Each structure stands twice: as structure tokens, then as C-alpha cells.
Structure 1
């Protein structure tokens, strides 16, 4: 098996240029007739508590096309997820997905297992280990600005009040010049209203605006909102009615939908979102689009049938805000089942990427009905809002981020680490001093500096060799950021796992063509195992820079004279002992 990271043909060509021939011998079968093997596993390395995420596994096989097999995920001895899959064509790697929710706050090494068949030749490639970091983390900070004390506001706060992964800091307008703050960390947080500086606004990972008038914000604050999403990478959600005065402002640029003045709408689409006899104020069952059905934002269950059943049980929503067409690149997850504008169903929930961040438009103010009209024990409303807010905020970059060059490592691999550092304005910081500390499984500590990559702003690199299997804990410390705002901003932890290599068992069949090509490029020769007796005669001396031919006359060697005299003495002694003359 080829289990190195080097190109064997390039290596053979290098040997050939130095006149060093390689003689290869093919052993074993060219094709393993019966085998199922895991090629790789991709998944989120870091998740928030209670999150549902997909594990993507690549599987290749020979001899089992169309057969149903079971894949499962184990946490130690306990099975935590499983799924039946149907194998595709032989010899082609196909990807399958299985949903997983970590059940304990820890760094968890899962084992993904593919059901072993009775006639499989290789069993070692039916299991694969991967790591998920589900340790407790600092909550995601979300700023929520609300124009009046509506039901939506109250139920959104209730939905996340027990979610330790999210902190919802809210600023509610309760009357003329009257405001109420909730969820704040300090007495001074939001004491002056909406943040007036980027440094203050950029402390949050996401921003929600609900039924707030455009006049609440200054021109600079409207521009800051756009910069918050595009530059800082924050999430932005606008819920319910959107003031027409936002048309033409930076906020409209951020939204995934266009805004239209009500006077330009057809008469049957006027009347607004509020309850009434007009079509836009009537009850309706929202329709999930194809993207919405498979979006993690709208999953109520990991099982497709149960998820569909739970959506059918949800009560109707009341009223929809009419927007224009969706913008290029936007994705509609939920739409009105009947009403259309410009031959497009009215979008109810729309998302898009904007700059470095994300934006969402929720064109209704009645999601609270999914809690109020359901049994008290039903958690659908809570699940949907928690998933939405987590998704909105989790993509906002931290001041210090760490990336590895590979999904997994084996013993002896070199681990390349890349750290990106941002300053208080979330711009690349080239003046930081970084140290990398690695705790290995056997309590071996590696401590070394990271070097700034002169070709990339804010990027620092380092590397080390892993020599043991198990879980490693990497800590990147940014000395120049120490003491700034939160301790988590001056350091970043990133665990990773070193597992047994499966390379020896993937594509385990003999590659006759590769062996022959290696021999040809180096000036050697390929042999089948049945022709191995010809190998000795084929290996000939080839003069080159790494060898020297020396000719010595044996009769001129002193040691040969000593050997002859010794043999004569030995012969004479043996004769004398036996009484021979």
C-alpha cells in the first residue's frame, strides 16, 4: 500500500536520474472482490451544546452494489446514532450523512462503524474515529432591538432563556422615550441605547431588529450595521414589519430580500401584516421549500418522517409582510402557500451570505403562535428559535481562530497549524506575538512560537510532529491581546485526535500498473511473484555517483597467506593426533 504523502512516481524518477534502479515485485490480488471501506469522515469539529449536526462519511466498496447496510456512531460502548444506507456502484466513493447530537459536554472521540459483512476480506477499514469538541463555551452574544412590547419579543426571550450557549441582550422601546434593558452583563451595557461605536457593536456576534423605525438610528449607526455584517462577519435578522424608510439605506443592502413601498403593491397585497380581512393578514400554514426541508435551521427531528409529522402539527401563522423579489444568492426556506408578488411566492424566511456575515429576513411576527397554540410541553418553538439564533451568531469570527491543515492525523504526521489574529476593529493584526502549547496524550508538553506569514495579514503558522495516538490539546496564546475585554480573546484552544491509519487498508489491491511504472521510471524492472527467480539475474552492477567498483588481486592479500599457513598447521596437527605420518 502507498501510505506516504509523497508521489511514488516522482520518487522513482528521482532515483532513475541518479541511475539507481528499483525492482518491484507484485504480491497479492489486483482486486479485492468483497470489501466495504470508510474513506473519510467530515463533520463540525466544534459544536454548541444541544446542537444537531451532520456527520458526512465517504464509503467505497467492491462486490456489494445495491446492498443495504447499517452505519452507526458509538461513544465508547454506547451507540448514539445509526442509519440504514444503500450502497451505490462498486469502486466509486459515495458520501452518506447521519445526524448526531452530542450527549455530554466534553471532547468526545466517536467511532463510526460500518456493518461488517460475513464474506468481507478486510475488516480494519470498517471503523473510523473522529473528534467533536462539545465542551462548555462562552455564550454567543446577540443584541436584540425591539420597537414595542409585542408577543414575538416575549416568546423569543422565553425560547432562549435556558440556552446557556446564547446570551440575548435586549433593548425594548416601551413608550415614547422609554426603554427597557434585559439580559445585560453590566449596568452600563446599552445604557446609551444602540451602540455608537464599532468597538461597542462588535462585541456582539449577531443583531436582531424587530418592528423598529428607521428614525431610531443615526446615519452612522445604519452604516455601522452594514459594516457589522460585511466586515465583522456578524449575523443580522430583521423580523416582522420593516419600516419603508429603510428603503435606500445600508440596512436594505444587507437584507436578502428587496423592499417595496406599499403604494406600489397590488391592492390585494396591501393592508400590512396585522390581523384583518385583507389577504396578507389572514392565517396561513407556511410552506417549506426544498431547501427548507433539509435546512438544519428548520429541523424538529433527526428522523425525516417524524420531522414532517411535527411540522404538520404546528398551528397557522397570522400575517405576512410583503417584500419584493429575493436577491441573487439568497435562499428561501419558508414561503406563503398562496400569495405571490411578481410571479414569486411571498418569502416568509429567507437567508443569504453578505460579506463576511449572514443575514435573515423573517416576514411574519407570529411565530409565537407555535408556542401559544401548542401544549406547554411542546418544544418546537424553542428548538426553531435556538437553531436560528445559533446559526446566525456562530459564524461570526472570533478575535483568534485556529485551523489545522488536515481533517485527521496519524502517528508520525506533521501537524501544520494556522492562527488568524484580528484586532479590536476585527482587522488583521500583524503585530501579535503567538505561542503554541501542545499537551500530548502522555502528558508531553510542546511549547514553541508561531511565525507571522509575511504574505498574509494577520496569519501566523507553526508545526510539530505527533508521535502517539490519542487526544491532543492545542493552546494558542496571543501575548499582545492579553487583558483586552474577555480572556477568551487572548487565547484559543483547539483539540484534535491522532488515530490509527487506514491507508494500509484502503485500495488494498495490488496496483500492477503503479509498480511497473515505478520500475520503468527508475530504470529497474517489474516482476510477478511467479517470476521472482529471475530477479537475481536481472540485478546488475550499475556504475554511478553512489557506487565504486574495486578490483583486488587475492594473491597479494596477507590474510590469504595466513589462512593457508593455518590450514597446513591444522592438517599436520590432525595427522599427528591420529598417528598418521
Structure 2
């Protein structure tokens, strides 16, 4: 169309370089249709007839041509007006092909940094071949495949097919964040696959799909490709979003990034060894294994050790069954170190199959083996036979470093001991140099006012052992003078017995104690206790216990303290009260320490059967009470948790395992409490395991994130909140849920739903080369129409004006006006 006609029709000239239209047509926007069009045609005929008749109704002297000219001018004017009313539109049609939009969404959540085991070796080799993973640095292609993160494999699979996918399509590459945000498509045009890194703590797959659908609304879309493991754990439900995609007829093609079995890994969480042990003393080494994705699988736990920088030597191998994700598995080894020095232990987990990494399959720990020697301080109120024989026995014992203090001795008296002392310890630090404190009928009042509190700290805080041997000189006044109002004044509360104030013996009891001998009545706990083991043969040992010489005097007490274990009671049934026969020998745990009460002072009489009876009994008893302190003040039990990290909603499984056989009876019950930041302590109840007498367990929920402390002590300990005795404290944390870490397995059902409901398909990493052929849409034919309205065209206005003007001139000429 030339410039002249464009001007007449009021059409803007096309921009320079614009292609010519493929088609031109004229549309009448207000032209009636159907019956209305028929009536319009009849109306036009009627108007033409009326115009002709009106022309003939005028002057009769006009010629026929004159009348026809006037009628034609009137009809031309009416026709121009009618054309304006019909709203003519000039339509310029152009046809062109435009690339369709193909959105590629890469899941950049934390779970995409995991690698998968690909346990099927043949399938793994096929995938490695399809993805072009090659052997390198001594590792096979399959090994490198198993080490590759999910996202890296997805990027590799898509990258090799990116050129084919881009033919006839405009690629837009999104991560989850840019896909969910408005305006994310601008950066998606220039983003590269390798720009996306796994960093997001959650996977809002639904939000990402909804955001892409919104940004592409009104545009030609070939489909949406999403490479993900399907772990949607935040934002909108993808099942709802896929309904919108189905309504818009946009297929979703899911690339399954991961293996069905999910990430597998076994980790050696902890190697537990006692930091200090005695030479030739059996000890337990525990290997704690954590696993993920290996339920019902098995692995070998190998333990090695080396002594004093020597060569590594095997200790043992155990085959363990791995449990649920995050549940710890323990393998224990019983070892007996024979050489004094530094022991290094190395544990390894082997033969667990393909896993994420083997870098965390090994752990080391050290232990110091020391000479078995207990440092004992004995304080005696007087030179009783029990004290003198006991002094000699301890000085002969090579496993004891002995120091004695005889109260009320003459000036210049040389105190007995391997290292004689010139005065009693005056503070906690000096008393803390010993492992066991042996009080033989002591005169505590003359020891100094600080001593009651020193004794409490020595046992309850430092883990020391206390043996109290009652006597006839000072024991009575000791219990009567106990003062609970001064710090440490009532220190007798740490003893395993209770002696009520005002307790006295009847005349009959006095006569019995001075005229007749009695024997020990061992309780079932006492008969099975190693301190009374004089012969390894149970039958011969029972006979020896029965033949022990009788004794005369005893110190009466009211009852055993709750939580204490009674080893022996009075052999005479007449020496009893409402609580039963008098307690003569009892022990209990107090914090990390141990206390023993002996209500008679005649064990020296056992020497009549042989020195080994007396010496052996005291050697075993001193070793028991002093062992914990000599080994660093540790508790006679280990507190363990079933997981390394807890999430809100998990259940915490706690266990207490006794590593000291003597503590099994003494700590028959435990008290425990759970303490969290800003929360009041919550009591926790431990129950003895029916299958393992050395094990007690408790279970409680992790309801709130934060730091927690599990405080455990024997039931004989005072109130945990009082702080007068040290308790075993195990700290752990409860973290908010992190489903990216806690649920890393491939969610294939979700991917299948996305593809099925939208008309798409699920692709494996090895099948991504078929993705281009599966997407039918490439260029989209588009018809572009440019519409120019002509009702206000100069041509129509000119016809109206020209027709009216010409008619007016002719009417003047014909003298019609």
C-alpha cells in the first residue's frame, strides 16, 4: 500500500525494515450477522428507494440525469455514514514461528549433595557409561559414580543433552529459589547449569513449580523439566500445583536424581576406652557405630592396639548388625593390659558395602595403664588390736601405699606408713592425694572442724572411698554429736547406715556382746560379693565362711540407708529390732565415691585360720573403695545415648551400663533428671534390663530444641539439686527437624505423580538422552494481526463532506433552494 492510500485511510506507516503482511483483509466490526444482516440489507434498499422517490417529489422540470445525480450524491453521503457506523477495520496479517519455553529446574537443596551407593554393580556401570564417568586416579568408573553428588550427576546428564533441548526452544534454568520468586525468569535466561550448587536447607518443590507456571503464563511452553530427589518438605504441596499444570496443559518431566536405596554410610561414632586403668585389670573397650541406609546390613568391627609406640597388633574382630538410621550399635571387647605405659587403640569398620565415604570409618583413642597401687590414709582413735593388725597388713600389701595416723599418741611417736606423715591433711587438696580413707573408731572432734566437710567432698566430689570401722571408744559420741546445721557437720549421712539419736543397747544385749561370740550372717548379696571370696570353689568358700571365728562386740545401728546394699547382719537373732537383725557390714555409692560401714572391730580374729583370710579381705575391700579415685574419680558406670544428634520429635534412649561388678548390687536403683535451658528439671526413671543385669535403660521424648543435660547418680546420693555430691552428667543437643538430612532417600512416588498427572514422564539419569524426543513442542506458529480502525479515516469524512457540498451546489444551480 502506497503512501497516498495510507494517508487517505488514516493508517500509520510501518516501521522501517518491517516485513510486509502475509494477508490483508477488511473487517466490519459492527456488521450485523444472521437475520439482522437481512433486515439491514432490506433497510438499505428501502432507503435507496426513498431517496429516489424524494428526488422525484420536487420540481417536475428537472431532467432525469439531474434527478439521478442528486440521488447518487445523497446515497454516497449515506453510504459513507453507514460505513463509519459499521466500524471498518483493516487487518494486516503476519505469520511467524517463535521458540517455545522450556523451564529446567535444578533442586539445589542439601540432600542433592549426597551421593548414592548404586549397589547393583551392573546397573551402576551402565549409568557411569551413559553419563561419561571414567576411571581416574586409580578409581573405577563405578567408584567415581558412587562418590559423585546427586546434583553433579544431574548436571552432567542434562549438560550433554542441553544443545538438543535448546533446538527450537528457549531454555530457562532455575534453582528452587529463583523458580519460586517473581521475576526469577530474567536471571534464568542467562543461568548455567554449573551455577547451581546444593545449599538450601529445605526443598520447596511445590513453590518452585507454582512460580514457574505463573511466570510463563500466556507464553508458549514446551514443558517443565525438574531434576530432583523428590524430597519436598516445605511450601505448597506439589500435588496441588501439578493440577494447575494439567489445566494449562504443561507437562512436567521429572529427572530422578538418586538411587532408590538412598545414601548409605557407616560411621565410627566413638571409641570408648577408660582413660586410666590398672595393669592386669580387665577393662572394656566399646566401639560405637552409627549408620544410615544400612538397616539389617552387617559390617566387621576390627580393633587393634599398640603399646608404648610399638607395632599395631590385632585385638579382635566382631561382626555387627547395623540398625535403623541414627541408632547406635555397640561392639565391646574385653582386654587385660599387662604392661604399664601408653596404650593406643584403633578401631575400623569394614565390609559394610558401598557407602558415601570411608573417611569416617576409623577412630583412635588412648589409655594409660598404671601400676595397681591404692593410696590409703588410716586414722585411728586408739591402738586397738584391729588397728594394729590392719596397719601391718596394709604395709605388707604391695598394691597399697599406706599412711597411718594414730590419734592421742605420745609426743614423738613415729606414725606408721610407707611414707609417714607428721600431721593430718588440713584441706581438700591435701586429702585429695589419697584414694581411700580408712577411719578406725576415729575421734573426729579432735581432727579439726574442717574435717566433716572435707570427708563429704572427698567422697561425693572427688570419688574417694571411705571405710568406717566402728569401735568402743568414740563411735557412740560420733553419731550423737552430728550437727546438721554446720557445713559437713552431719557427714555420717554418707555412710550406708542410719543410727537414730538415743539408740542404746539393753542389758541383755550388753551381756550377750561380752559373754557370747556370734558369727556373721551373710546376706545373699554378701555371699556373692568378691570381698568374701576366700576360695574360687563356691562350695569350699562357703565352708570357709562358716568356719570364720566368732566375735564379741558389735556397734548397733537402726537400719541400712535406702539404696545401700547389706552384706552381713548379726548372726544372733536376738540382736535385732523392728528393721531386722543389726546391720554389721554395708556399702553404698555416694556420687562417684563409695562408703563402707563395718559395725565390729574383730576381723583380726580371722587370722586364726590363716593370714590370707584377714589380709585378702582387706586388700579386696581397700581396692574396691579406692579404685574409682585412683582411676581419676570416674563413676562405676557409663551413661550412653542411642544417637549422636536428636531432632524434635525423636525419642531419646538412654542407658546406664555398670563397668564395676561390685556396683551392681550397691546401685540397685538410680536417680536421674533431665535439665534443659530455661526449663525446670524433669525426673527420669531408669529400669533394670531383664536380660542384662549390668544394664539399666530409660526412654523419653525430645520435645523442644536446645541443649540438655542428663544427670544420673545412685539412689543413695542426696537430692541432685543440692549439689553436695558429684553426679554423672551427659550433655546432648536436640536440633530442629532437618528433613533434608533426616530423609535423604529418593522419593520416587512423588516424581511419578508429577509426571502422570501432568502428562509428562519420569527419566532416570541414564535415560536423559531420550528427554528431547519426549518433548514434542519446539517452535510455535504464531499469527500476528495488526488492526487499524477506518471509521475515522479521512476518506470517509471526505466523502461525506464532498457529497453534501456537491448536492448543495447542484441544488443552487438547479434553483431548488
Q: Higher helix fraction: Structure 1 or Structure 2?
A: 2
Report the TM-score, using the length of structure 2 for normalisation.
0.37
* Structure exhibiting the larger radius of gyration computed from Cα positions: 2
